[in-house]
Amino acid sequence: MAESARAGGANASGPSLPPQQAGPSLPPQQAGPPRRKRDWRPVYLIAPSMVILAVVIMYPVLRAVYLSFQSDRGFDQDTGRFIDGGFAGLAHYTRWIFQQTTSSLGETISCPPGTLCSNFWESVGVTFFFAAVTVTVEVVLGFWMAIIMSRTFMGRSLLRASVLIPWAIPTAVTAKLWYFIFADQGIANRIMGRQVGWLTDDWAARFAVIISDVWKTTPFVALLILAGLQMIPQDVYEAAKVDGANAWQRFTQITLPLVKPALMVAILFRTLDVLRMYDLPAILHGVSGASPTTTVSILVVADIRQGNFNSASALSTLVFLMIFGVAFIMVKWLGANAIRTQDAERRGA
């Protein structure tokens, strides 16, 4: 016991050893969020549609581009078989763009008047003329129709349903309907009391196509604009009336800016649709390169009917590039305007 006491005293009286200094404490390692497995279901669901689009759209486009650089197939009298013409380079494209062709002597000459290649730029002008006039008229009339259909009155549902009837009619039926209306002894001439060559005169034939297209597709534009009008709260108009805004001010300061995105979609759809117009002028005036209503799509079909498949492929490629360029420009311009409009709406809110 004495030894224990002496040991305890020695330990108590002696200097205590400092505890071992530990290093800087590290925070406990936090486990990150568990990695989620990639969900492949959307890919599986969209894959069939992409395959169909690749077969139905991509293959014809790539095949047309390939044929546009090939010469027409020739006939080998020795074997009695058709043989490939070989690589033609840009010959088919220069035939349309510069309206040049090769003579029987192998010389490059201008396309003779009356041939299809001599009507290329005229058909391009007719196509853009149709697009500019029809889209403008359809937007104006469609806006007016949409404003009327957006109001509350008795029989509004019946009016909306009846307005869509022209748009629901197939284009071929519409073309035949207006063909009989614009005939020499048709209703149009009888109402006017004079003889107008709607199917023969140059400008009369063009306006016949414009009238037919406006009658058919204006309801489509009105439907898109009506969807935009129904998104505008009525409280905005009531507040504007309280502030003393008249009808014109309410239209320019409220209706037009708020319906602008829907209006841009309608303009884009209709412009691209008219640029590839074929069936309406073809049924009204026939498929001929010399027709005053010949569009670039009609010119492609006319060239195919003459057996110039490679040349028609080059022309169809040019039409594709033309429509793609217009679509790209309009999407960039209209999309930027739509974004600015939405930003302005957010700032105003």
Q: What pTM, to 2 d.p., does this model score?
A: 0.77
Query: What is the pLDDT, as a whole number, of residue 30?
Result: 57
Question: Could you say which of 3.40.50.11310, 1.10.150.120, 1.10.3720.10, 3.30.70.330 is the CATH number of the domain covering 126-348?
Answer: 1.10.3720.10
Q: Going by DSSP bridges, is the β-strand pair 74-76/81-83 parallel, antiparallel, or unpaired?
A: antiparallel
Give the whole-number percent of the chain exceeding pLDDT 90.
37
155 torsion bin: left (phi>0), alpha (psi -120 to 50), beta (else): left
DSSP-based three-state secondary structure for 302 = helix
Residues in the chain with pLDDT < 50? 1-14, 17
User: How do residues 103-125 score in pLDDT, each as one tens digit?
Assistant: 767 677 788 887 888 889 999 99
Query: What is the pLDDT, as a whole number, of residue 337?
Result: 60
Give the Å distances, CA to CA, from 117 to 123, 164, 275, 278, 299.
Answer: 10, 39, 19, 18, 9
Query: What is the pLDDT, as a whole number, of residue 13?
Result: 47
Query: What is the pLDDT, as a whole number, of residue 10?
Result: 46
Domain ranges across the chain: 126-348
